[in-house]
Structure formats: structure tokens, C-alpha cells
């Protein structure tokens, strides 16, 4: 009798229509994070594996599967892909009952497999040519939860502290939570969950179900679609981190950088930093990076004993730099992102920061060979920020005040001394064409000017110190000439004429007599009433005029009327300590 019952059951099961059979999937992988699962699914699809799908799983996991299939097709697919080593050897067939919200393909909805010709359904045998009417169902005002409140509480209890923090971050992003990201679910977190449920047409319980958590995190991570975040391990630099490979691609090694430049329309850039060094070199890198065009001057920055961070906020780009010194190795990264795209920038940056890790070894400086594209205004192939103009100036008192020409500071948003110290105009005399700058931080110059108040001798040898080639040279150059006249071409008493070939960058520099006293300040060529003069004709603003103007503004300086002699070598050394590069910037 028992055998007869089993035989009848078997015969009934064997004739059930295929449509009544449940679809199945081949589960191939599970990931702890949504980003990791999306990257894995993308990788399988790129390798040619078909029917890749992804679903949220209970407990905060995310599964990657293939399907849906009929049972026989699933078994054949599993064996074929295992043999080809396209999927893990421990992949297995599941019925999909544990699948929650689908996250892959993005926006996709997986349907059960269509019946085959040998698996006809009653619907397939209906009268040909007669279409069944389709009636659109009215959506429920409140979505039916996938779990009861008790089940939701139980699945939430399985979450670890990091998963709970991640949900608080997502709730904060959704605009319903403003508390601490601590992974502790108190009243504030419960209220935010209730607010999110209400806003998204779910039953309000204050406890998110498994599918609701997946829906929230999926929406939170959707902003990263197209970013192609992948863990990149670069052995040359000894750095591993998530990089948005959907918008940047590796281009070259330019020590100390490994460069990932924009691969499409989004003007993003990632640079890995890797070099040997000590604290001095770390601090030097901190200063050098801030001269690059890709690092705007505005924004917070902090330098610590063994690390630094720089954030540059500009009209076109928003950049972030982080570097750390450890065991004689300096490693870090730079993210350059288009301005105005802060939501994606913050998310990408957070993923990069969280995933950054290092191994031993640094980028070999010899990995990049010298070529014809080398230039003094490039650092590792990156353009250095350039000033509007460079001029010369010189220290006039122990407080670090600098005298220069009005032309040096006209229409400047920022003025710097020696490319390093910001300075402010504290005195301006447009009639004479001079300004006095005060550094924003106290400076103690080694040498200050002594202004010559005596009458110099005609045809006496003189010298001007300055930066004829701007910031190309790090120290001032000394140009020698003669005092051609103690007046201007039209008899002006406030200037003297020089027989000396000067460059535009020399303007604002000190003009010395034989003893190192300052006869005056070199004026720009444009000061000669717009006339085109021979190259050897230059003019110096008289020391007496400078002293009168500056002292009237309450600024101390030193004068002398003695005549002395100084060797060219000693004069060159003194000029190097007294003369400073004055640079004008637009931001």
C-alpha cells in the first residue's frame, strides 16, 4: 500500500507543468559590502559569464548569482562554468527564497524562465490569436513588509557594529538622521528609521526589515554607479586602495607619483604618492604640492609630525591630499575632482580613505626616463601654479618690511615673498611708484638696506640686484653698470638714470653704490612716460624720495652718507640676503 502511494505521488510530480516548477539560481559568491558585491558582479559579467544577478541577503550580506534557470539548465550551467573555472568551485544551486532586493543589474528586474516548447503550460494551449487582457493592479498604499516586526528585530540583531554604523551613515545621507555615527540604535536612530519608512511608503515600525535595509543602502550607493570602484594593488608604489576606474585610468609613473588620469568627460584624477624620505622631505613635499595647479590655494590644510592633509577648493576643481611618513617611506594619494560634484566626490573619497593600505617598497625614481618634455615649471609632469608676474623687492628694516614697485602688486589677490610667505601692502605711494609690504608672519632678515643720502659721483659703478627671470632662479642675480646721470631725462630730481641693461623682473630691486649702500629702487621700464628707450637706459627712484615717503608712513629704515668700497663677491652675498622675490597671484 505504501509503495502504491509513493508511485502515485511520483507519477503526479512527473506530469506537473513546467510553469509550476520554481526557478533556481546558481549562487557563486557573497560579499559583506554592496560596493564589493557590485564590483564582483561587474567582474563576472566582464569575463563573459552570462545571466549575472545580485540580491541582498539576510544578515546584511549581498549575493551574486546566475539565473534564473530551470533545474536541469542550472545544473548544466553549474558544471560547465566550474569546468571552465569561470566561477568558484564551491558554487551551488539555490531556490532564491533568501533573495531580497535586487541590486544587479542596476535597475533590472529578474523574471522566472519562460517555458520551453516541450514544457507547455495551460496558458500556452489557449486559443491562438486571442490575447488575454492585462489589467494593471492598483499599487498598495503601504508596501507589505518582507518580515514581521519580530523577524526584522531578529535580523537586525545579527548586524555587527560596522553594519549598524553604515546604516546610520545612509540614514544621515537620506536626510532623516543627524545623530552620532556610533552603531548604537537609540531613540534618534529609531525616529530616523520611522521617518525613512514613512517617506518611502513602508509600514512605520522604527525597525528596518532586511529588504528595507538593502533598499536604503542601494539608494545610498547608487550615486557610485559608473564610478567603477575597484581595489587596485600597485606593486611599484606599494599601495593598495579603491580607485574609481570607471572615470580614471592608469597613464604613467612620474616619481613620486603613479598617475591615473581622466578616461572620459569627468575631469577626475588620482595620483598615488610613493617615495623614500624623512620628516624634512615630508615637509618639503607638503610645500611643493601646494604649488601645483591641481591644488587650489583655498581650503583647510594641516601638517603634523609624520603626516599632512591638504584640501584645495577652487572654481574648477576640489582636491584632497593625504600623505604619511612611516619607516622611512612617504606614501599617500591625491584625488582631484570637478567642483560642484560634492556628493560623488565625498563618497568616492570616503571609499578611497577607508581602503588605503601600504606594503613595503617605494616607487623607483628610475622608473621614468628623462625626455624632451621636461620643464622647470613641471613637477613629475604636473604643471606648477604660476604667478601673474614676478618682480623684485628688498628688506628695509628688521621687522621684515619689503620695498618694491607699485607694478609688482597691481591687481593681485595675493602677494607672496619668496613664493612662501603671504604679504600685505602697508604703505603705497602712487606718485613715486613704490609700496611697502609686511609679511603676514614675522621674518628676521639677515641684512637690511642702508639708504645712501649723500650725492653719488657721476659714472660711478653701480649694481642692481633682482630676479630677471622670475622664479626660475632661486637666488637674485647682480647686474653691474654705471650711474649715467643724477637726474631723469627731463631733469627730474626724484630719479637717476643708469647705464645698465635690466629685465622686467629686476624692477623693485635695490640699486647699490660701490660700498653696498642703496642709491634707490629700480623702476619698471614703463615709468619713462611710455617712451621706447634703448635697452641700456634704466631709471632708479632716488633714495631720498624713498626715505621721505616711507618715514612719513611711520615705517623705520636706516640711512647713511658714508662712502665705502665693497668687493663684488661681498656685494653679491649681501644682495642675496637682502633681495627677495615678490610674486603676484590671482588667487
Judge whether 291 lies within some domain. Answer: yes
Pairing of strands 450-452, 558-560: parallel
Residue given cell 628610475 in the structure block: 366
Pairing of strands 317-326, 382-383: unpaired
Query: What is the average pLDDT value for the chain, to the nearest integer?
Result: 82
Judge whether 184 lies within some domain. Answer: yes
pTM of the predicted structure, to 2 decimals: 0.48
Judge whether 131 lies within some domain. Answer: no
Residues 574 and 447 occupy one common structural domain: yes
Residues 362 and 445 occupy one common structural domain: no
Residues 93 and 166 occupy one common structural domain: no
**Amino acid 19: pLDDT:** 41
End-to-end alpha-carbon separation of the chain, Å?
Answer: 95
Query: Cα–Cα distance between 205 and 213 in angstroms, integer?
Result: 13
Average the pLDDT over 288-296 and give the result: 86
Per-position DSSP letters for 331-356, written without gaps between them: EEEEEEEETT-HHHHHHHHHHHHHH-
Q: What is the CATH number of the domain that holds 508?
A: 2.40.10.120
Domain boundary among 224, 241, 256: 224
Percent of the chain with pLDDT over 70: 84
Number of domains in the chain: 4
Strand partners, 465: 478
Q: What is the CATH number of the domain that holds 197?
A: 1.10.101
180-203 pLDDT tens trace: 989 999 999 999 999 999 988 899
Domain boundary among 91, 114, 137: 114
Residues 570 and 423 occupy one common structural domain: yes
Pairing of strands 477-485, 495-499: antiparallel
CB 464 within 8 Å of CB 512: yes
**Amino acid 122: pLDDT:** 37
CB 486 within 8 Å of CB 496: yes
Query: CA angle, corner 574, sides to 571 and 577, nearest 5?
Result: 150
Judge whether 501 lies within some domain. Answer: yes
CB 242 within 8 Å of CB 357: no
And the C-alpha cell for 241? Answer: 586602495
Q: What is the CATH number of the domain that holds 311?
A: 3.40.1000.10
Per-position DSSP letters for 17-68, written without gaps between them: -GGGSPPEEEEEEEESSHHHHHHHHHHHHHTT--SEEEEE-GGG-EEEEEEE
Residues 209 and 238 occupy one common structural domain: no
Positive or negative, the CA dihedral 291, 292, 293, 295 is negative
CB 259 within 8 Å of CB 252: yes
Pairing of strands 450-452, 461-466: unpaired
Average the pLDDT over 69-76 and give the result: 90
Residues 218 and 286 occupy one common structural domain: no
Query: Cα–Cα distance between 584 and 386 in angstroms, integer?
Result: 9
491-516 pLDDT tens trace: 788 888 899 888 888 999 999 998 89
Residue 60 has pLDDT above 80, yes or no: no
Judge whether 245 lies within some domain. Answer: yes
Residues 215 and 241 occupy one common structural domain: no
Lowest-pLDDT range, 41-50, 114-123, 361-370? Answer: 114-123
Residues 417 and 492 occupy one common structural domain: yes
The DSSP letter of residue 511 is E
Please give the helix or strand (H or E) that residue 190 lies within, else none.
Answer: helix 187-199
Lowest-pLDDT range, 206-215, 423-432, 528-537? Answer: 528-537
Positive or negative, the CA dihedral 482, 483, 484, 489 is positive
Residues 408 and 331 occupy one common structural domain: no
Residues 105 and 254 occupy one common structural domain: no
Residues 411 and 458 occupy one common structural domain: yes
Q: What is the CATH number of the domain that holds 97?
A: 3.30.70.1070
Residue 547 has pLDDT above 80, yes or no: yes
CB 353 within 8 Å of CB 335: no
Judge whether 573 lies within some domain. Answer: yes
Question: 545: closest CA among 491, 493, 484?
Answer: 493
89-100 pLDDT tens trace: 778 888 888 888
Please give the helix or strand (H or E) that residue 253 lies within, else none.
Answer: strand 248-254
Judge whether 135 lies within some domain. Answer: no
Residue given cell 543602502 in the structure block: 217
Query: Cα–Cα distance between 476 and 297 in angstroms, integer?
Result: 26
The domain in which residue 524 lies consists of 387-587
Lowest-pLDDT range, 20-34, 37-51, 52-66, 438-452? Answer: 20-34
Residues 405 and 542 occupy one common structural domain: yes
Average the pLDDT over 29-35 and give the result: 75
Domain boundary among 329, 351, 379: 379
Judge whether 219 lies within some domain. Answer: yes
Amino acid at each position: 500500500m505504501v509503495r502504491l502511494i509513493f508511485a502515485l505521488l511520483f507519477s503526479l510530480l512527473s506530469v506537473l507543468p513546467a510553469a509550476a516548477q520554481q526557478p533556481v539560481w546558481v549562487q557563486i559568491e557573497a560579499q559583506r559590502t554592496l560596493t564589493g558585491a557590485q564590483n564582483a558582479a561587474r567582474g563576472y559579467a566582464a569575463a563573459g559569464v552570462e545571466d549575472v544577478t545580485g540580491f541582498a541577503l539576510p544578515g546584511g550580506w549581498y549575493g551574486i548569482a546566475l539565473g534564473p534557470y530551470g533545474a536541469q539548465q542550472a545544473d548544466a550551467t553549474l558544471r560547465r562554468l566550474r569546468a571552465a573555472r569561470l566561477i568558484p568551485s564551491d558554487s551551488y544551486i539555490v531556490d532564491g527564497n533568501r533573495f531580497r532586493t535586487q541590486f544587479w543589474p542596476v535597475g533590472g528586474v529578474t523574471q522566472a524562465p519562460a517555458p520551453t516548447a516541450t514544457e507547455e503550460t495551460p496558458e500556452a494551449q489557449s486559443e491562438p490569436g486571442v490575447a488575454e487582457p492585462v489589467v494593471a493592479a492598483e499599487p498598495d498604499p503601504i508596501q507589505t513588509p518582507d518580515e514581521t516586526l519580530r523577524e526584522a528585530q531578529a535580523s537586525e540583531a545579527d548586524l555587527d557594529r560596522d553594519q549598524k554604523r553604515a546604516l546610520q551613515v545612509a540614514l544621515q545621507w537620506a536626510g532623516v538622521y543627524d545623530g552620532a555615527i556610533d552603531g548604537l540604535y537609540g531613540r534618534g536612530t529609531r525616529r530616523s528609521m520611522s521617518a525613512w519608512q514613512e517617506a518611502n511608503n513602508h509600514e512605520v515600525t522604527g525597525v528596518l526589515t532586511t529588504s528595507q535595509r538593502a533598499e536604503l543602502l542601494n539608494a545610498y550607493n547608487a550615486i557610485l554607479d559608473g564610478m567603477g570602484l575597484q581595489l587596485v594593488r600597485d606593486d611599484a608604489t606599494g599601495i593598495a586602495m579603491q580607485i574609481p576606474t570607471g572615470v580614471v585610468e592608469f597613464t604613467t609613473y612620474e616619481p613620486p607619483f603613479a598617475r591615473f588620469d581622466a578616461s572620459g568627460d569627468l575631469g577626475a584624477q588620482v595620483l598615488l604618492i610613493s617615495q623614500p624620505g624623512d620628516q624634512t622631505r615630508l615637509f618639503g613635499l607638503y610645500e611643493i604640492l601646494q604649488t601645483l595647479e591641481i591644488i587650489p590655494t583655498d581650503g583647510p590644510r594641516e601638517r603634523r609630525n609624520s603626516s599632512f592633509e591638504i584640501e584645495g577648493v577652487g572654481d574648477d576643481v576640489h582636491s584632497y591630499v593625504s600623505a604619511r611618513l612611516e619607516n622611512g617611506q612617504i606614501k599617500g594619494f591625491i584625488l582631484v575632482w570637478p567642483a560642484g560634484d560634492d556628493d560623488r566626490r565625498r563618497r568616492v573619497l570616503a571609499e578611497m580613505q577607508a581602503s588605503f593600505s601600504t606594503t613595503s617598497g617605494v616607487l623607483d625614481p628610475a622608473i621614468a626616463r628623462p625626455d624632451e618634455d621636461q620643464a622647470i615649471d613641471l613637477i613629475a609632469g604636473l604643471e606648477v601654479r604660476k604667478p601673474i608676474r614676478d618682480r623684485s623687492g628688498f628688506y628695509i628694516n628688521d621687522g621684515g618690511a619689503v620695498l618694491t614697485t607699485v607694478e609688482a602688486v597691481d591687481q593681485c589677490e595675493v602677494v607672496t615673498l619668496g613664493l612662501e610667505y603671504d604679504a600685505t601692502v602697508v604703505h603705497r605711494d602712487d606718485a613715486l611708484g613704490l609700496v611697502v609690504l609686511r609679511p603676514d608672519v614675522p621674518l628676521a632678515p639677515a641684512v637690511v638696506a642702508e639708504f645712501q643720502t649723500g650725492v653719488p659721483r657721476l659714472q660711478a659703478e653701480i649694481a642692481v640686484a633682482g630676479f630677471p627671470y622670475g622664479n626660475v632662479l632661486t637666488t637674485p642675480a647682480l647686474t653691474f653698470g654705471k650711474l649715467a646721470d643724477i637726474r631723469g631725462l627731463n631733469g627730474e630730481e626724484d630719479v637717476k638714470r643708469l647705464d645698465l641693461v635690466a629685465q622686467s623682473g629686476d624692477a623693485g630691486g635695490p640699486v647699490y653704490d660701490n660700498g653696498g649702500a642703496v642709491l634707490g629702487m629700480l623702476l619698471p621700464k614703463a615709468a619713462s612716460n611710455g617712451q621706447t628707450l634703448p635697452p641700456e637706459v634704466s631709471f632708479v627712484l632716488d633714495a631720498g624720495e624713498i626715505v621721505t615717503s616711507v618715514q612719513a608712513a611711520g615705517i623705520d629704515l636706516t640711512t647713511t652718507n658714508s662712502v665705502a668700497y665693497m668687493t663684488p663677491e661681498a656685494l653679491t652675498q649681501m644682495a642675496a640676503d637682502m633681495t627677495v622675490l615678490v610674486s603676484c597671484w590671482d588667487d
